[in-house]
Structure 1
Amino acid sequence: MLAELFLDAARVCQDYSPLTHTLLVSAADDLVRGGVTAQVMAGAECDRKSTVPGLRFASALHRLVLEGRAPGLAKHYPTAGGQPHLHTLWDDALPVLREHTDDLRALVSSTVMQTNEPGRNAPLFGGLQTATHLAAGVVGRRTTFPVRLLEVGASGGLNLRPHRVAYRAGDEVFGDAGSPFALDTQWTGRPPVDLSHNLRLVRRAGCDLNPVDVSTEDGRLHLSSFVWADQTWRWERLRAALDLAQLDPVPVQQATGPEWLADQLARPERDVLTVVWHSVVWQYVSPADRAMGRAILADAAARAKPMAPLALLVFEPRRAHEDGGYEFQLLLKLWPSGISLRLGSGAGHGVPFTWDTQPWN
């Protein structure tokens, strides 16, 4: 039932975004009563949970606000200079839903859930530093390997510039201190390597079924609309990441993960560490594509050489509690050395993060 999927999404953001939670609970009630929300969501009645129709609904409304087409609702949205008043939020949303029913339906039906959260650069940076140091140590290199970074499910490619971000960790800054994107890592602990070492990314590439061109206003609006509007720190983080993307463009190719990965990994590259990376993507991938991706990676791992190593670095939710709860874990595998580590865990948006290196079986 569509209303239940809205309530599922509302529960996810209950402790993090009162505005989105209130909006989705009210919309779920309106759906049950056959109100205007049912007209907006027409055609989505059979959507799967993984397509998160509730968050696509919230995103569509947010986009209208950002485009200046819903001034009566904008007064509740901090991203538009407003301040949430939860007791009147739904009353002010209803006129927007009625006036823009067709536009909202079109946005919901054409939108794929994409956050491309740039905060995940923080664990990625530490994970890459760890991978380059370990791979060099295995072969006795005095300097770390340069990196070829391949991201599956890259969306707008905002996490393909880990070497161009300024990472604040306590009183220290690592990475590119002059970057327009300064990220407070909110780390507990540190990766067990020298973070002052400069990462050398010699090649970067990404793929996505629905890539977002962040060089366009439409692309920037698309990603911005998925930020929960009362999380201003995420909004500002995204703005900074988009500014960096303008200075350092990295195109994202439209392709399925397995097809693209097979082409990228067809030949090992000597004197380069190839890193396959993905973050909070796995739940959106079909079982068939998951199996195919694992097989392609296993084949490439079998062909990896000490001087042409391969790494898998992922930040994904994993079941970690007896009550069935999940935590977001950073996991690293290196071939041909066979090193397999759980580097730590953190919030789904990448910050805060706790470093705690343990074997990963």
Structure 2
Amino acid sequence: MRLSPVPHKGNPASVGPVLADLFLDAARPCREASPLTHTLLVAAARDLASGGVTARVMAGAERDRRGTVPGLRFAGALHRLVLQGRAPGLAEHYPSVGGTPRLDRLWRDAVPVLEEHADELRAMISTTVVQTNEPGRSGPLFGGLHVATRLAADAAGRRTPFPVRLLEVGASGGLNLRPHRIAYRVGDRVLGDRDSPFELDPGWTGRPDVDLEHDLRVVRRAGCDLNPVDVTTEDGRLHLLSFVWADQVQRLARLRAALDLALADRVPVRRATGPEWLAQQLRTPERGVLTVVWHSVVWQYASPADRAAGRAVLAGAAARATPTAPLALLVYEPRRSHDPDDPWEFQLLLKLWPADVSLRLGSGAGHGVPFAWDVRPWT
């Protein structure tokens, strides 16, 4: 789930001073992770400040909010042209289509593409939402579900773990609604669905203290998003691929494998706000299954009103949960850390009702890979 840009008309001459700093803001996190994107955005920021072709492409974005990340919408629109085979000169620099970056020539080869497609790019940027759907987060989700189903079973006096009803808020294209359909390579073992077309190395340090060989049974799945992506369409696939930094080839390969799995195992995502949708899904407890509400890197994009409404819906559902119809909240979200060099830490957190379990299961990278298991109380 992502915030939407605010489309409006504007004067190209006024764009540069407003947006150049936002482009530089978007470039900083890319310096190590994606030299191609960093180089592109820094050059585009200079071009914006001087009133070059980027100012024409970004005309109308003068009042865009920082949270809409106009720099990444710009980079994503260019990447989409490359993925479509419509910018062959620029494609030579893009590993996503087999190219090799030559950073000293990148901007020189980008300018003709910007000039030729300025109107199309401007229209695309003005209506596009920055959106990713990181299937690497299925690694922490898979382990977290095993922990949750085992603890819920223990609290209910069951010998076997509960089957799961999985509900994802901010599901985007729903790529993380298939944790039981993925093959997880952990050391010399393969967990999950060994016949899956999507094999994921979750990069785990440590293991949760549960039987990961036990089949994870997900009997029902559903998701919602403000801007759902239909990953069964070419447009939907291009949308998600375009926002992956083009020189992160492992991440692209992971996304493509998850998209292929989604074609074989379709789970539609409903357009709705989280609180509205959850209220419908959680109205009546479902006996014999563990209902798991899951979200990852969504909370920061929700409005204060939606956060409060979501908490209220969950509190009501928690009060109705029983040992035979338990409820879990499982989230993978950034939280402030005590490290001044890295102020945010992505943590996997679990709450379970009515067992009154509250655990921090571990932490990892923003994309879910790698991940370190370290179970402790969540206070």
> Could you list the per-position Cα deviations for residues 74-109 of structure 1 after superposition, in whole angstroms to 9, with x for gaps in the alignment?
000011110000011011111111110111111111
Mapping 1:78-227, distance limit 5 Å: 78-227=95-244
Aligned to 2:347: 329
Contact 1:77 1:83 in 2 (8 A): yes
Which one-letter code corresponds to 1:219 in the other structure? G
Unaligned runs of 5+ in 1: none
**Secondary structure class of the residue paired with 1:14:** helix
TM-score, normalisation: structure 2? 0.94
Once the two structures are TM-superposed, the CA of residue 172 in structure 1 deviates from its matched residue by: 0.7
Cα distance in 1 between the residues matched to 2:214 and 2:59: 53
Cα distance in 2 between the residues matched to 1:34 and 1:345: 43
Contact 1:50 1:283 in 2 (8 A): no
Once the two structures are TM-superposed, the CA of residue 59 in structure 1 deviates from its matched residue by: 0.5
Cα distance in 2 between the residues matched to 1:5 and 1:96: 22
Aligned to 2:257: 240
Q: 1:67 aligns with which of 84, 94, 113?
A: 84
Cα distance in 2 between the residues matched to 1:279 and 1:192: 23
Which one-letter code corresponds to 1:280 in the other structure? V
Aligned to 2:10: none
> Could you list the per-position Cα deviations for residues 271-319 of structure 1 after superposition, in whole angstroms to 9, with x for gaps in the alignment?
1100000011112111111111111111111111111110000101111
Which one-letter code corresponds to 2:48 in the other structure? L
Cα distance in 2 between the residues matched to 1:282 and 1:35: 37
Cα distance in 1 between the residues matched to 2:212 and 2:200: 15
Aligned to 1:359: 377
Mapping 1:23-62, distance limit 5 Å: 23-62=40-79
Q: CA RMSD in A?
A: 1.0
Does the alignment pair 1:339 with 2:357?
A: yes
Once the two structures are TM-superposed, the CA of residue 322 in structure 1 deviates from its matched residue by: 5.1
Unaligned runs of 5+ in 2: 1-17
Cα distance in 2 between the residues matched to 1:4 and 1:263: 42
**Secondary structure class of the residue paired with 1:198:** coil
> Could you list the per-position Cα deviations for residues 133-186 of structure 1 after superposition, in whole angstroms to 9, with x for gaps in the alignment?
110011110011110000001011000000000001111110001100000011
Which one-letter code corresponds to 1:22 in the other structure? T
Identical positions, percent: 75
Cα distance in 2 between the residues matched to 1:88 and 1:288: 47
**Secondary structure class of the residue paired with 2:330:** strand
Aligned to 1:306: 323
Does the alignment pair 1:289 with 2:306?
A: yes
Once the two structures are TM-superposed, the CA of residue 203 in structure 1 deviates from its matched residue by: 0.5
Does the alignment pair 1:269 with 2:286?
A: yes
Aligned to 2:7: none
Once the two structures are TM-superposed, the CA of residue 57 in structure 1 deviates from its matched residue by: 0.8
TM-score, normalisation: structure 1? 0.98
Which one-letter code corresponds to 2:45 in the other structure? A
Which one-letter code corresponds to 1:248 in the other structure? D
Deviates more, 1:206-215 or 1:31-40: 31-40
Does the alignment pair 1:350 with 2:358?
A: no
Cα distance in 2 between the residues matched to 1:53 and 1:69: 22
Cα distance in 1 between the residues matched to 2:64 and 2:303: 15
Once the two structures are TM-superposed, the CA of residue 29 in structure 1 deviates from its matched residue by: 1.1
**Secondary structure class of the residue paired with 1:15:** helix
Contact 1:155 1:211 in 2 (8 A): yes
Cα distance in 2 between the residues matched to 1:44 and 1:316: 29
Cα distance in 2 between the residues matched to 1:50 and 1:30: 22
Once the two structures are TM-superposed, the CA of residue 321 in structure 1 deviates from its matched residue by: 2.5
Task: Give structure 1 regions of 4+ aligned residues with deviation exceeding 3 angstroms.
Answer: none
**Secondary structure class of the residue paired with 2:251:** helix
